[in-house]
């Protein structure tokens, strides 16, 4: 049926690799920006959520995974105080309506107020991306 939506994906962490010191993620939110240290890299596999709880997962593979196996992603993770000091993927940030702006490697400068202003102007015109420093 065309109106049916695919159930939400759940990314299950299967491995963790510590990040060298200095990696950070920059979030942009209505009140400014947050710079958060990255604890490491999460290796995750995609599952389909079948119920209201994250652990209600289907074992079936998606059609695009029948040949090569379950889809995986590598995503930076940060330490979440809200979730008991566990490492969470950066796309699950507890900062409310914050959006990922940059992932910064060690030694890279943090975006300043002018970079933030330029990024907000770009987003206001429909562009959402890494405009700072480019």
**Average of per-residue pLDDT across 67-93:** 84
Q: Looking at the domain assignment, is residue 78 inside a domain?
A: yes
pLDDT at residue 118 in the model: 93
Q: What is the pLDDT of residues 27-60, one digit of tens each?
A: 998 888 999 999 999 999 887 766 666 566 666 6
* CB contact burial 1-38 (16+ within 10 A = b; e otherwise): eeeeeeeeebbbeeeeeebeeebbbbbbeeeebeebeb
Is 24 within a domain? Answer: yes
Q: What is the pLDDT of residues 10-26, one digit of tens each?
A: 788 999 999 999 999 99
State pTM to two decimals: 0.71
Segments forming the whole domain that contains residue 30: 9-124
Does a structural domain hold residue 46?
A: yes
> For position 23, what pLDDT does the model report?
97
Checking if the pLDDT of 133 tops 60, the result is: no
Q: What is the pLDDT of residues 86-114, one digit of tens each?
A: 999 988 876 667 889 999 999 999 999 99
Instruction: Tell me, yes or no, whether 116 lies in a domain.
Output: yes
Residue 52 lies in a domain: yes
Do the domain assignments include residue 129? Answer: no
Whether 30 is in a domain gets the answer: yes
Q: How many residues does the chain have?
A: 134
**pLDDT top residue among 31 and 116:** 116
The span from the CA of 21 to the CA of 44, in Å, is: 22
Q: Give the residue-averaged pLDDT of 75-80.
A: 92
What pLDDT score does 25 carry?
95
**Domain count within the chain:** 1
pLDDT score for 33: 92
């Amino acid at each position: 049926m065309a109106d049916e939506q695919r159930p939400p994906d759940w990314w299950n962490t299967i491995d963790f690799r510590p990040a060298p010191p200095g990696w950070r993620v920059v979030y942009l939110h209505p009140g400014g920006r947050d710079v958060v240290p990255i604890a490491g890299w999460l290796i995750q596999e995609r599952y389909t959520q079948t119920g209201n709880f994250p652990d209600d997962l289907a074992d079936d593979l998606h059609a695009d995974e029948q040949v090569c196996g379950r889809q995986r992603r590598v995503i930076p993770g940060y330490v979440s105080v809200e979730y008991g000091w566990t490492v969470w993927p950066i796309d699950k940030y507890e900062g409310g309506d914050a959006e990922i702006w940059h992932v910064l490697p060690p030694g890279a400068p943090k975006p300043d107020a002018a970079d933030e202003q330029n990024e907000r102007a770009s987003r206001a015109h429909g562009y959402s991306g890494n405009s700072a420093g480019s």
